[in-house]
Amino acid sequence: MATYKAPLRDMQFVLNELLEVDQTLAALPDFAEVTPDVINQYLESSAQFAENELAPLNQTGDIEGCKLENGVVTTPKGFKEAYQQFCEQGYSSICCAPAYGGQGMPLTLGLPLMEMQISANVAWSMYPGLSHGAYSALLAHGSDELRQRYLPKLVSGIWTGTMCLTEPQCGTDLGLIKTRAIANDDGSYSITGTKIFISAGEHDMAENILHLVLARLPDSPKDIKGLSLFLVPKWIPDAAGNPATRNAISAGSLEHKMGIKGNATAVMNLDGAQGWLLGEVNKGMACMFTMMNAARLGIGMHGLGLGEIACQNAVAYAQERVQMRALSGTKHADLPADPLIVHPDIRRMLLTGKAYNEGARAFSYWLALQLDIEEHASDEAQRQDAADLVALLTPIAKAFMTDNGYTVTNLSQQVFGGHGYIRETGMEQFVRDARISMIYEGTNGIQALDLIGRKIMMDQGQKLRKFTKIVHKFCQAQADDAAMSEFITPLQQLLKDITDLTMAIGMQAMTNRDEVGAAAVDYLRLLGHLVYGYFWARMAKVALTKQASAPAPFYVAKLATARFYYSRLMTETATLKASIQSGAKNLMEIEEDAFALGY
Ligand SMILES: Cc1cc2nc3c(=O)[nH]c(=O)nc-3n(C[C@H](O)[C@H](O)[C@H](O)COP(=O)(O)OP(=O)(O)OC[C@H]3O[C@@H](n4cnc5c(N)ncnc54)[C@H](O)[C@@H]3O)c2cc1C
């Protein structure tokens, strides 16, 4: 069975040594007291919860799955009890507003805790994860009355939340939504329709479920501009706030699916369910967008969390399992063969995991810090800069991190050979669990279109320049450090290539919009490597500096991993560049019918 140990040393390295988050947080009025000691206390207690309470339920949850009988969903054994403990120990309220019973901690602290929960048990982690999305939407767009009525119980975790967007005929194109909302005389709405694939749509872990539902009023535009967002509780509370009336929203069935089996993915039927408007009529998508960045970063964390646990187990296996002798001569003469970890190809797979995971950790924690700045800085210009960086880099966090996370789970399974394919070791579960993160919350292909289209082309590259300036400044600051040149030279070259390519795609798009779509996925990966390359160069700098004053194997390994990233992973940019430059013609010239000509 797979095991999990929270990577506390690396988390502390990123938060305290690389990003020095306490200095940034100290300048934000709400977080002046979030010192490294406070952060470490949360990390350590959360690590224990993830390792001891959640991880043991991961494989059993996968085998048992969720069951629907007579409208009631039963989650796997132990899920409910773990959730109760989670709430009792205050984890559900850590990053929520004190006005509603939250602890008011920054997302910069919440994200590492989320990473641990995902690593230990991703299916379980989605129940509180979705609640937080619902919390953010309700906080931003609910009326005072709705917030007072619903937020405290969402914050304490007594009630959970969902996001109900997808319908049978639409996932990516939400403009096709058919669910109808009709105004009632009392200011509420009557909502009818079918939502599919709703994560945590029905379960037995909380006394009430608050569904956030996108629906259309009869006289609203028939496209994406005609959607409104509604709060539809499973149980409508009475005046005292206790669940009182069963609402007409129920689970019709549960999906049978590839992974995350401990999370109930439900078809939700609404038969005139009573709902309350959040935000304004026809502004449903705008309401969704306010929480989209944090939600997409949350899904990006699935890539890191699952990559981390898969890689940890692959390392342990490679150290223990003996097969063949090292090509360069026997390394462990006392053993009948050498451990797998002596073989270069095994090292390639393990280092790919280590490099992608640690790059993702540095990037995502930094992005969480930007989200905190965006929301809490007192200076308007600082907030705007952070908002632009978040908007630009969120699609990369979602898509690059989950694509890489899937690669890492796959390679980690490969390290186990045939033992990774059978169920007992738990490795195949990580691959299955990781796959969905590339699909939901906007597929990775759609993230790429969002990046290049909305985030870059539509604002003439202004947001992109805000990030490239940061990278450029860092490179300039290393000009006199010869030890850094192995990182700075390729990083500067990539900066230049991206600037040139962005201009070239922009020019081509003026005559053919398909050029943007044809370049999008490769372009996102190219930018992803710029981001990870920047953070790996920064990590190398810290490691070099620390190594000079306080040598430690941790810094030696950091430096070696930075070198691996630069020479074996970031070099993918050459292929990506060539692919982008080949243009749209090789994709578009084949006739639609010709795809099926060979059979
Ligand atoms: C396990 C699971 C849990 C989920 N949880 C939730 C949930 O809690 N709430 C919720 O509302 N939804 C949820 N979803 C739905 C999920 O978000 C959608 O499946 C996803 O957004 C894709 O929509 P679709 O499946 O309809 O695919 P489609 O929209 O039909 O897309 C099919 C393919 O076409 C591509 N594509 C579509 N349009 C374009 C374009 N213009 N250019 C290029 N490529 C394009 C897509 O990238 C995709 O690869 C969940 C799904 C699953 C499987």
The CA 130 to ligand 1 mean position distance, Å, reads 17
Q: What secondary structure does DSSP assign to 524-593, as a single string? A: HHHHHHHHHHHHHHHHHHHHHHHHHHS--HHHHHHHHHHHHIIIIITTHHHHHHHHHHT-SHHHHSS-GG
What pTM was estimated for this model as a whole? 0.98
- Which CATH number applies to 160-283: 1.10.645.10, 2.40.110.20, 1.10.10.10, 3.40.50.2000? 2.40.110.20
Is 90 exceeded by the pLDDT of residue 291? no
Q: What secondary structure does DSSP assign to 19-52, as a single string? A: S-HHHHHHTSGGGTT--HHHHHHHHHHHHHHIII
pLDDT tens, position by position, 450-476: 999 999 999 999 999 999 999 999 999
Atom of ligand 1 nearest to the CA of 257: 1
The CA 444 to ligand 1 mean position distance, Å, reads 10
The CA 395 to ligand 1 mean position distance, Å, reads 15
Q: Which amino acid, residue 175?
A: G
Average pLDDT, the chain: 97
Show Cβ contacts of residue 299 under 8 Å, excluding neighbours closer than 6 positions: 398, 402, 437, 440, 441
Domains 8-141 and 160-283 share a fold: no
pLDDT at 293: 86
126, 292, 440, 514: which to mutate for ligand 1, most atoms within 8 A of CB? 440
pLDDT tens, position by position, 122-181: 999 999 999 999 999 999 999 999 999 999 999 999 999 999 999 999 999 999 999 999
Token match 């699952």: residue? 306
Atom of ligand 1 nearest to the CA of 440: 17
- The domains of the chain are located at 8-141, 160-283, 461-586
Q: What secondary structure does DSSP assign to 82-101, as a single string? A: HHHHHHHTTGGGTTS-GGGT
Report the nearest-CA residue for atom 16 of ligand 1. 440
Report the nearest-CA residue for atom 29 of ligand 1. 172
pLDDT tens, position by position, 304-325: 999 999 999 999 999 999 999 9
Report the nearest-CA residue for atom 2 of ligand 1. 197
Atom of ligand 1 nearest to the CA of 163: 9
Tokens of 185: 């005389």
195, 196, 443: which to mutate for ligand 1, most atoms within 8 A of CB? 443
CA angle in degrees (0–180, nearest 5) for 531-532-538? 95
The CA 125 to ligand 1 mean position distance, Å, reads 21
172, 203, 230: which to mutate for ligand 1, most atoms within 8 A of CB? 172
The CA 496 to ligand 1 mean position distance, Å, reads 34
Show Cβ contacts of residue 447 under 8 Å, excluding neighbours closer than 6 positions: 296, 395, 396, 398, 399, 524
Report the nearest-CA residue for atom 11 of ligand 1. 165
H or E element, residue 493 = helix 485-511
**Which range has the worst mean pLDDT, 160-174, 251-265, 287-301, 414-428?**
287-301
Which superfamily, per CATH, for 8-141?
Acyl-CoA dehydrogenase/oxidase, N-terminal domain (1.10.540.10)
Tokens of 398: 């979602």
Are 461 and 502 in contact by the 8 Å Cβ rule? The answer is: yes
H or E element, residue 208 = strand 208-216
Token match 């379980």: residue? 124
pLDDT at 90: 96
Q: Which amino acid, residue 117?
A: Q
Catalytic residues: 441
The CA 174 to ligand 1 mean position distance, Å, reads 10
Is 90 exceeded by the pLDDT of residue 566? yes
Q: How confident is the model at residue 588 (pLDDT cuts 50, 70, 90)?
A: very high
563-596: burial string, b at 16+ Cβ within 10 Å, e else: bbbbeebbeebeebbebbeebbeeeeeeeeeeee
Q: Which amino acid, residue 244?
A: A
Q: How confident is the model at residue 418 (pLDDT cuts 50, 70, 90)?
A: very high
- Phi-psi region for residue 338, left (φ > 0), alpha (ψ -120 to 50) or beta? beta
DSSP, res 207: S
pLDDT at 531: 98
Q: How confident is the model at residue 289 (pLDDT cuts 50, 70, 90)?
A: confident
Report the nearest-CA residue for atom 52 of ligand 1. 197
pLDDT at 301: 98
Q: Which of 274, 268, 271, 270 is nearest to 190 (CA)?
A: 274
Ligand 1 neighbours by CB, cut-off 6 Å: 163-166, 171-172, 197-199, 257, 265, 436, 439-440, 442-443, 445-446, 449
pLDDT at 394: 97
